[in-house]
Amino acid sequence: MTAMEFAQFPILSAILFSTLLALLVILFIPDDRPKLVKQVSLGFAAVGLALSLYVYFAYDPHKGGLQFVERVLWVKSLGIYYFLAADGINVPMILLTAVVLFTGVLTMWELDKRVKEYFALTYLLVAGVYGVFMSMDLFFIFVWYDVSLFPMYPLIAIWGSTRKEYGAMKLTLYLLAGSALILPGILYLWAVAGGTTFDLFELQRLGFDVQVQRIAFVMLYLGFGILAGVWPFHTWSPVGHVAAPTAVSMIHAGVLMKLGAYGILRVGMTLCPEGLVYWADLMALLATIGIVYGAFVGLAQTDLKYVIGYSSVSHMGIVGLGLSTLTVDGINGAVFQMFSHGIMTALFFSAVGYIYDKTHTKMIPELGGLSKTMPKASAFFILAAFCGIGVPCMSSFWAELLVFISAVKTYPLRGILAVSGLVVSALFMLRVVQKTFYGEKNPKWEHIPDVPLFLASPRIILVGILIFYGLFPRLILDIIQSAVVPFVNSL
């Protein structure tokens, strides 16, 4: 096989359909073989990871633009295309998804309740996520978006904890309400453009009136924004995170919330740049409120998962702020933040998951002094907390730095407010770390063994990635920039 032929291989479809194949294979494994289900899941996750890594390394940032393009006409009369492609924005997202899936499967290695259904639904969810990240056709973006949402309901309601049915229903209805705005937004743009194509780039070429862009953008922004945890539509997110089982929280906070931000960027900002200019002020305002509000509410929480949930609201606010600046640095930082926040929250939830599995509590006052009984398990959480605060040498540092520099330039007051929100979030993270892992040792937890190497492996991978990109941010920023620079120039 020559290199040329390999380039023609539909690698994005391969990633996407490997997850659907995994789903089918898992469904046909007998119920009484949970071990086999886990092995098959891990195998497919590894394949997905390998293929995503290939995409990541094979993507040529100097050439930029769309690569690995696959485009087939799907429904003729409406102009729907099966159109997959990779560019600088979605390459990191595809990698993120693969990493979180792989580590998520490892994290759930000890699951023993309805194992087959759990992994089948996880793969359905991930198929939806991959689909959204790869598709360049509005119809398919929406379809995959919905596919990724509805497995959340059973995943939380069956395997969750802490008011799981309430959390699951709230999350599902909120997110579906979001798609109730996205679908009209998409169809509106399609209809205004003549009703002949759903191809994102053809629509971009056709262009829209300023008025149309303003209406469509606000629908898309609010619709996708609900999933991105934009204040004041974030309330589903902490509740959902808390109720969900560990790996679902990882996928959910790590990847699914990114779909929202990605949707705003990919659909809203690409098709409605004028609308973005018009609404950027509001976006920046909501994002800043989200950053500050998330930090303050996080300060008052006593449940570890709620703490992470609110810190996610705060961190996703940073993504929103970065997008709203409309500068190369801001959007670069936002996309980078999407990536590093995804890895970081996955690490957070994975670390809490282990603690919860062993102690059966995630209430901060009941824990305490854990670093003495299980130093390794604690270390992962503490590292994640450092990353959340934005300590240098961690990937979030660069992302947040880029966003805040451009935010202070574009919106001085809001930028400074947002930075101060970060200080509060540092306060609450350190408070949590201190109360949970240092201080008085709770004798109840003394017998608990520290995390063994195999179970720690997902967290080791995640920490490794955070530090790697903290030390070599250019390796990912070059790719992101190859898409962002032409995008900002076209505004």
For other proteins, the binding residues (CB under 8 A) are: 74-78, 139, 142-143, 146-147, 150, 153-154, 157-158, 165, 169, 172-173, 176-177, 179-181, 183-184, 187-188, 190-191, 195, 215
State the nearest-atom distance from the C-beta of 77 to other proteins, in Å.
Answer: 6
Cβ-Cβ contacts under 8 Å for 285 (sequence gap 6 or more) = 414
Which CB sits closer to other proteins, 236 or 386?
A: 236
Q: Three-state SS across 53-114?
A: HHHHHHCCCCCCCCEEEEEEEEECCCCEEEEEEECCCHHHHHHHHHHHHHHHHHHHHHCCCC
The distance of closest approach from Cβ of residue 13 to other proteins in the complex, given in angstroms and rounded to an integer, is 14
**236 vs 339, beta carbon nearer other proteins:** 236
Residue whose CB is less far from other proteins, 147 or 417? 147
Closest distance between other proteins and the C-beta of residue 311, in Å?
Answer: 28
Nearest CA among 459, 125, 157, 422 for reference residue 259:
125
Q: Which is nearer to other proteins, 195 or 392 (CB)?
A: 195
CB of residue 174 vs other proteins: minimum separation in angstroms? 9
Q: CA–CA separation, 243 vs 249, rounded Å?
A: 8
Comparing CB distances to other proteins, the nearer of 130 and 190 is 190
Q: Of 114 and 431, which CB lies nearer to other proteins in the complex structure?
A: 114
User: Phi, psi at residue 310, to the nearest 5°?
Assistant: -70, -30
Name the residue nearer to other proteins (CB basis): 102 or 208. 208
CB of 129 to other proteins, least distance (A): 14
Residue 248 Cβ vs other proteins, minimum distance, rounded to whole Å: 15
438-447: list long-range contacts, CB under 8 Å, 24+ apart: 438/369, 438/371, 439/368, 439/369, 440/368, 440/369, 441/368, 441/369, 441/372, 441/373, 442/366, 442/367, 442/368, 442/369, 444/359, 445/358, 445/359, 445/367, 445/369, 445/370, 445/373, 445/374, 446/373
Minimum Å gap between C-beta 51 and other proteins is 22
Q: Are 48 and 444 in contact (CB under 8 A)?
A: no
Type of residue numbered 194? G
As measured in angstroms, the least distance from the Cβ of 212 to other proteins is: 10
Residues 6+ apart with CB under 8 A from 436: 304, 364, 367, 368, 370, 378, 381
> What does 178-235 look like in DSSP terms, one character per residue?
HHHHHHHHHHHHHHHTTSS--BHHHHHHH---HHHHHHHHHHHHHHHHHHTT-TTS-T
Least distance in Å: CB of 214 to other proteins?
A: 13
Angle CA 381–479–400, to nearest 5: 40
Which residues on neighbouring strands pair with residue 70, listed in sequence order? Answer: 84
- From CA 297, how far away is CA 149, in angstroms rounded? 26
In the complex with other proteins, which residue's Cβ is closer, 102 or 139? Answer: 139
Nearer to other proteins, 171 or 230 (CB): 171
Nearer to other proteins, 79 or 421 (CB): 79
Q: How far apart are CA 198 and CA 286, in angstroms?
A: 30
The span from the CA of 113 to the CA of 472, in Å, is 41
Which tokens in the block code for residue 120?
């089948």
Q: Is 137 helix (H, G, I), strand (E, B) or coil?
A: strand
The residue among 156 and 284 lying less far from other proteins, judged by its C-beta, is 156
E strand intervals along 345-481: none
Q: What is the smallest separation between the CB atom of 373 and other proteins, expressed in angstroms?
A: 36
Token code pair at residue 159: 């395997």
For other proteins, give the closer residue by CB, 187 or 455: 187
Least CB distance to other proteins at residue 274 (A):
18
Q: Which of 162, 140, 148 is nearest to 20 (CA)?
A: 148
Q: How far is the CB of 187 from other proteins (least distance, A)?
A: 4
- CA distance linking residue 81 with residue 299, whole number of Å: 47
